[in-house]
Amino acid sequence: MEPSTPGGVIPMHRLTKFDVFTDLEQKGEEILKTAKLAHVNNLEGFVVTTADETYSFSNDDLLSSVATITRIPELCGVQVKDHTPKQLGRLVSPRGGEGIGSAGRPGLVTGSLTGQKVVQVAIPGEGVGRVVALTGGGEVHEWGGNSGVPETISKRYFEGKAVISVVCSFEETLALTEDGRIFQWGKSSYKPCRSDLRSTPVTKIVASRKALFALTVDENLYWWMDQGSGTTTTSVWSKVTTSPEFRNIQDIATCWKRDVLVVELKNKSLFRDELVNQGFKIEPYFTNSINNVTDMYYVTRRTIGATRAGEIKPRTVGGDIATLWRTNENADVTFSVEGKTITAHKLILTCRSDYFAKMFSNEWKEGDGSKIEIKDTKHDVFEAFLFYIYHDEVKFLDDEYENIFDLMKLADSYCDITIRRECERILIHNIDEDNAFFLVRNAASANASALESTVVQYIFENGLLADKSSPQELIDLVGMEAFQKLAMAAIYHCSIVRDRGVQQEF
C-alpha cells in the first residue's frame, strides 16, 4: 500500500492532509521537507527526518492554529521505525534497537526486553498503563498495571507456537501464531486462551477500540465485540455480513480511537465502515469508499513512511502488469478506435473486466479476429479505460473533467463499478464554477447519483443561479431533466430557510 517516494522523503501533500502539519512557520516547513516517517494522533504529530532527528508537533492551543514544535533528543539518532499512540503518552519502536521508548520522557525499556529486538507494540485501553510487545523471536512481553517491568508470556499459552502479530482493543488482547491460530486474553488476565475461531487459519488480526477482527485464509472476515468483563472471554466470534461485491477481501486495517474498519479488496478498492450498536456490516456505499493511500493512512491513523533512496523495491504482480502495458510484450489483441490502434493482452483484460471476459468468450461478434473495432467512443477515453485495468489509476488530470466524465460513462456502460466510482470520486472532489453546470446536466446519463446531488448542493451554496435571467436560459444550459431537479432543490432550500426564520421568531 505504501508508494515509492524518491529520496526517501514523504511528499508534502501527504503530510498537509493532517491539520497539525498545516499553517506552520518556516522551521516546521523545513522539517517536513525532510520527513521520512510521520504519525498523527489527534492534535499531536511526530516526524522523523532523513537525518534521524525526531520532532513533536503539538496543536493543543485553541487560541492558535500554529503547532508547537519540540525536538525529542532521546529519539534522535536511534533510527526510529514506528510510533504507537497512547492517550497522554507515546511508545516508539526503534529500527534495530533494543526495546522501546516508554511513555513520558522516552527511555529504554528493560526487564525481559533487555537485548531483545521489538517488532510490534500494542496498547490496550486509554490510561490503563498496560503495554504488549512482540519480539523478532515470536515472544510476547507484557507490563503495566501491577507490574512496571516487562515479563515474558510463556509460549505454552500459545501451544508452543511463535507469535507473529499482537493487537489490543480496550478490554482484550489478541495474538496470532505462525500457524494461523489466535489466542485471546483480557487486561486483568495474563493467561491467553485459544479463541473459538478455529474452523480455518487466520492470516491477519486488527483491533479497534471496541472490537477485534480476524481475516481468514479463505478471505472471510470475523469480529468479536468487547463485553467489558476485563477477563478471559468465552464470547463467540461472528462472521461479518458482506454483500457479494465484497468477497475476496485481501487486507484489513482499523483506526483504534474512532472504531473505523477499512477493507481492501483484491481489485485494490478500499472501503470503510464504522462500528454501530448492531455491529459491523460492510456495504458498497460510494460514500464509504477510500481511493488513495493518503486517505487510507488518514482514516486509520497509521504511521506514514517513505522509501529510502536506493532501496530496491520487490516486484509485485501489479507492477509487472503495468510493465506489460508499457512494453506491449506478448500483446495478442488490437483495438481500433477512431482510426488509431491500441494493443493489449486478452488474459489480463479477461481477468480484470467482466465486459472483456464476455467479449473474448466467443459470445460476442466483437471478439472474433485479431483487430476489434470500438465504435461511439473516443480513442483517449477507451485508452484510459484500458490504462486503469493495468494500473488501477485514472490517467487524466483532476481538472480534465470532461474526459473523466466520459471515462465514467464508458465504465458505467461496461458495468465496471470500480472505475465508475473512482471517476465519480474525482469529479466530486473537484467541482467548481467552471464545471458545475456541465456535471449537473450530464451526471444522470452515467448513473452518478452521488455526483448529481453533490453538484446541485454546490450550485445553491455558491449562488451560481443568481445571474441566470430566466428559466429558459437555465433549461438551455443544463437541460430539462437537470432543470427540474434544480427546481425541486430550490423549493426544498427555500422551505429550509423559511423554517429557520420561523424558529428565530419564536
Reported as a single tens digit per residue, the pLDDT across 186-234 is 866 668 988 888 777 888 999 887 888 998 887 788 888 755 444 444 4
Query: In angstroms, rounded to a whole number, what is the distance separating the alpha carbons of residues 207 and 255?
Result: 8
In sequence order, what DSSP letters do the residues of 422-454 get, joined into one string? HHHHHHHTT--TTTHHHHHHHGGGGT-HHHHHH
What's the chain's Rg over C-alpha atoms? 27
Please tell me whether residue 32 adopts helix, strand or coil conformation.
helix
Q: How confident is the model at residue 275 (pLDDT cuts 50, 70, 90)?
A: low
**pLDDT tens readout for residues 336-352:** 999 999 999 999 999 99
**How high is the mean pLDDT of the chain?**
76
In sequence order, what DSSP letters do the residues of 333-350 get, joined into one string? EEEEETTEEEEE-HHHHH
* Architecture of the domain whose range is 116-226+237-276+288-305: 7 Propeller (2.130)
In a 10 Å sphere around its CB, with 0-12 CB exposed, 13-18 middle and 19+ buried, how is residue 232 labelled?
middle
Q: Select from 3.30.710.10, 3.90.550.10, 3.40.640.10, 3.30.60.50 the CATH code of 315-424.
A: 3.30.710.10
Hey, do 116-226+237-276+288-305 and 315-424 end up sharing a CATH topology, with the first three levels equal?
no
Q: Is residue 493's pLDDT more than 70?
A: no
Q: What is the mean pLDDT of residues 469-483?
A: 64
The pTM (predicted TM-score) of the whole model is 0.52
Q: What is the mean pLDDT of residues 425-433?
A: 89
pLDDT value, residue 403:
95
Domain boundaries, given as residue ranges, for the chain: 12-75, 116-226+237-276+288-305, 315-424, 431-505
**pLDDT tens readout for residues 451-463:** 888 888 888 778 7
